[in-house]
């Protein structure tokens, strides 16, 4: 049975290995919060384990010895690492694993180990166990902060980007200097958005070197997402799309654009009889692409037309149907910040919503922040 009368007691009652200098280093490691261990080789017998192991995780030294023998589930990953910790003497090995404490909660551990030669010619696997919980909490806080900061910057940038795209789309009569200014504002905004994606996105914080998330989506991909939603609801989707250039893409947050279209499809499914079909379309329109979603229901009551995009508004035909009156309001808000337009089309035969989004024909390639001067106010531009 493991004795823990003081910090220097060993696992099955044997003395702590090493000379006085080794004992000092062990104490220093434990004062720093790490857990020291020593395992005799080749028998893989646990000779020493810091008392902090039990107080931190609720498991005894005997439980760890059982894990090394392959007979303890909660400590199984740690037992496998320690049992397989063979290598050349003096070779440092570092691994990260997850175990479960005595309450069954997961705990991250860093295992740092090496093989040492003892004075009697035998060998021991010695090392440290480091609880990664504080580090992981700190990283999670960093990611939350980065996500918040990313959002706070991205929202006004998306508004500027959308406004400039709308100005460019409606500026056929503007003079060339004005059009150049629009383009320079758009390029500067692109650079800032690229910086957010490159340096401050949650994915970047979670995994350095991971490819940044796309900020474009192909019109056909967006349209197919809407059609798939209709089919998943057990309804027929009629898709009519013009042939669009392969390099044509929509600029924006793909998930946001999918959400805006999803709201329109949800409405079509909700306000039309089961068994009827939902028609979706896409066609080139000016500097962008216009999508349409039409159902075969009764349509929007005339008295509700002017208010259907208002926050919290529910039409007279919504009685008895689930909803909060936020769907169309949210969809239009998303479309607005992407420089697009969302409207209810006039005509009979159900409700038809038309969603216009600006498009790019260069495959959506954007320059990073370092690829061009950052100032948009230079007199020579």
pTM reported for the whole predicted model: 0.44
* d(C-alpha 94, C-alpha 175), whole Å: 64
Long-range contacts of residues 96-103, Cβ cutoff 8 Å, at least 24 apart: 96/132, 99/57, 99/74, 99/75, 100/73, 100/74, 100/75, 101/56, 101/57, 101/58, 101/59, 101/74, 102/57, 102/58, 102/59, 102/74, 103/58
Per-residue confidence (pLDDT) for residue 223, from 0 to 100: 94
Cα separation values, 252 from 197, 219, 243, 279, Å? 12, 12, 21, 24
pLDDT bin (cut points 50, 70, 90) of residue 165 is: confident
CATH code for the domain of 46: 3.30.450.20
For residue 136, what are the contacts with CB-CB under 8 A and spacing of at least 6? 108
Please state the domain count of the chain: 3
* d(C-alpha 309, C-alpha 244), whole Å: 29
For residue 194, what are the contacts with CB-CB under 8 A and spacing of at least 6? 366, 367, 368, 369
What number is the average pLDDT over the span 133-149?
A: 77
Is 380 in a helix, a strand, or coil?
Answer: coil
Per-residue confidence (pLDDT) for residue 210, from 0 to 100: 38
Check whether residue 227 and residue 205 sit in a common domain. no
Per-residue confidence (pLDDT) for residue 348, from 0 to 100: 62
Per-residue confidence (pLDDT) for residue 203, from 0 to 100: 60
Check whether residue 108 and residue 232 sit in a common domain. no
What number is the average pLDDT over the span 96-125?
A: 90
Of 111, 131, 151, the residue at which a domain comes to its end is 131
Averaged pLDDT of the chain? 79
Per-residue confidence (pLDDT) for residue 239, from 0 to 100: 93
* d(C-alpha 381, C-alpha 372), whole Å: 12
What number is the average pLDDT over the span 30-56?
A: 87
* Residue 63 or 6, more confident: 63
In a domain? residue 350: yes
pLDDT bin (cut points 50, 70, 90) of residue 169 is: confident
Q: Could you give the dihedral angle defined by the CA atoms of residues 227, 232, 237 and 243, in that order, rounded to the nearest 10 degrees?
A: 20
Per-residue confidence (pLDDT) for residue 1, from 0 to 100: 32
Check whether residue 157 and residue 228 sit in a common domain. no
* d(C-alpha 288, C-alpha 250), whole Å: 8
Q: Which domain holds residue 103?
A: 20-131
Considering the chain, what percentage of its residues have pLDDT values greater than 70?
77
- Least confident stretch, 78-92, 235-249, 315-329: 315-329
Check whether residue 235 and residue 335 sit in a common domain. yes
In a domain? residue 13: no
pLDDT bin (cut points 50, 70, 90) of residue 237 is: very high
Per-residue confidence (pLDDT) for residue 292, from 0 to 100: 94
What is the phi/psi pair of residue 321, to 5°? -105, 145
For residue 265, what are the contacts with CB-CB under 8 A and spacing of at least 6? 226, 229, 230, 278, 280, 293
Q: At residue 52, does pLDDT exceed 80?
A: yes
In a domain? residue 112: yes
In a domain? residue 370: no
Neighbours of 306 (CB within 10 A): 10
**Plot region of 309 (φ>0 → left; ψ -120 to 50 → alpha; else → beta):** alpha
Check whether residue 208 and residue 220 sit in a common domain. no
* d(C-alpha 251, C-alpha 365), whole Å: 10
Per-residue confidence (pLDDT) for residue 196, from 0 to 100: 72
In a domain? residue 2: no
Per-residue confidence (pLDDT) for residue 22, from 0 to 100: 59
pLDDT bin (cut points 50, 70, 90) of residue 170 is: confident
Per-residue confidence (pLDDT) for residue 54, from 0 to 100: 92
Cα separation values, 46 from 11, 65, 112, 118, 240, Å? 6, 6, 16, 15, 71
Q: At residue 117, does pLDDT exceed 60?
A: yes
What number is the average pLDDT over the span 154-163?
A: 82
CATH code for the domain of 351: 3.30.565.10
Check whether residue 116 and residue 190 sit in a common domain. no
Check whether residue 342 and residue 271 sit in a common domain. yes
What number is the average pLDDT over the span 199-211?
A: 53
Of 62, 96, 131, the residue at which a domain comes to its end is 131
Is 327 in a helix, a strand, or coil?
Answer: helix
User: Angle at CA 59, nearest 5°, toward 53 and 64?
Assistant: 85
Check whether residue 351 and residue 221 sit in a common domain. yes
Q: Please say whether the beta carbons of 352 and 345 come within 8 A.
A: yes
For residue 161, what are the contacts with CB-CB under 8 A and spacing of at least 6? 186, 189, 190, 193, 251, 337, 338, 339
Per-residue confidence (pLDDT) for residue 205, from 0 to 100: 55
Q: At residue 195, does pLDDT exceed 80?
A: no
In a domain? residue 366: no
Neighbours of 75 (CB within 10 A): 25
Check whether residue 223 and residue 309 sit in a common domain. yes
Check whether residue 178 and residue 275 sit in a common domain. no
User: What are the beta bridge partners of residue 93?
Assistant: 113
Per-residue confidence (pLDDT) for residue 371, from 0 to 100: 35
Check whether residue 161 and residue 112 sit in a common domain. no
> Looking only at Cα atoms, what is the longest distance across the chain?
95
- Least confident stretch, 3-7, 39-43, 95-99, 282-286: 3-7
Per-residue confidence (pLDDT) for residue 153, from 0 to 100: 78
Q: At residue 345, does pLDDT exceed 70?
A: yes
* d(C-alpha 285, C-alpha 341), whole Å: 12
Of 107, 131, 155, the residue at which a domain comes to its end is 131
Q: At residue 366, does pLDDT exceed 50?
A: no
- Burial per residue of 157-186, b for 16 or more beta-carbon CB atoms within 10 angstroms, e otherwise: bbebbbbbbbbbbeeeeeeeeeeeebebbb
Q: Locate tokens 């999508």: which residue?
A: 291
* Residue 18 or 338, more confident: 338
Q: At residue 365, does pLDDT exceed 90?
A: no
Q: Which of 111, 146, 139, 140 is nearest to 125 (CA)?
A: 111
Per-residue confidence (pLDDT) for residue 181, from 0 to 100: 84
- The shares of helix, strand and coil residues in the chain, as percent rounded to the nearest 5, are 40, 20, 40
Check whether residue 28 and residue 43 sit in a common domain. yes
pLDDT bin (cut points 50, 70, 90) of residue 108 is: very high
Per-residue confidence (pLDDT) for residue 63, from 0 to 100: 93
266-303 pLDDT per residue, tens = 889 988 998 899 999 999 998 899 999 999 988 888 88
Considering the chain, what percentage of its residues have pLDDT values greater than 90?
25
């Amino acid at each position: 049975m493991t004795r823990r009368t003081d910090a220097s007691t060993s696992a099955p009652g044997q003395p702590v290995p090493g000379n006085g200098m080794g004992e000092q280093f062990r104490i220093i490691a434990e004062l720093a919060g790490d857990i020291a261990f020593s395992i005799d080789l080749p028998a893989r017998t646990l000779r020493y384990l810091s008392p902090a192991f039990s107080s931190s995780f609720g498991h005894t030294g005997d439980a760890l010895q059982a894990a090394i023998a392959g007979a303890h589930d909660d400590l199984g990953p740690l037992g496998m690492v320690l049992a397989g910790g063979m290598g050349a003497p003096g070779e440092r090995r570092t691994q990260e694993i997850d175990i479960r404490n005595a309450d069954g909660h997961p705990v991250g551990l860093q295992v740092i180990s090496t093989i040492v030669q003892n004075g009697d010619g035998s060998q021991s696997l010695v090392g440290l166990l480091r609880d990664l919980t504080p580090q992981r909490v700190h990283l999670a806080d960093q990611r939350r902060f980065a996500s918040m900061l990313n959002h706070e910057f991205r929202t006004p940038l998306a508004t500027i980007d959308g406004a400039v795209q709308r100005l460019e789309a409606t500026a056929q009569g503007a003079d060339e200097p004005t059009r150049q200014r629009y383009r320079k504002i758009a390029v500067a905004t692109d650079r800032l958005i690229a910086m957010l994606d490159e340096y401050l996105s949650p994915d970047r914080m979670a995994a350095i070197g991971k490819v940044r998330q796309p900020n474009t989506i192909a019109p056909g991909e967006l349209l197919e997402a809407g059609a798939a939603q209709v089919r998943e609801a057990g309804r027929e989707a009629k898709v009519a799309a013009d042939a669009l250039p392969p390099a044509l893409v929509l600029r924006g947050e793909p998930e946001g654009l999918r959400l805006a279209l999803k709201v329109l499809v949800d409405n079509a499914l909700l306000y039309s009889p089961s068994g009827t079909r939902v028609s979706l379309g896409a066609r080139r329109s000016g500097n962008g692409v216009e999508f349409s979603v039409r159902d075969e229901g009764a349509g929007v009551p005339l008295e509700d037309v002017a208010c259907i995009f208002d926050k919290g508004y529910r039409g007279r035909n919504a009685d008895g149907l689930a909803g909060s009156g936020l769907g169309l309001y949210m969809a239009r808000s998303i479309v607005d910040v992407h420089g697009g337009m969302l409207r209810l089309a006039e005509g009979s035969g159900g409700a038809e919503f038309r969603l216009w989004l600006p498009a790019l024909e260069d495959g959506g390639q954007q320059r990073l922040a370092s690829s061009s001067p950052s100032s948009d106010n230079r007199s020579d531009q």
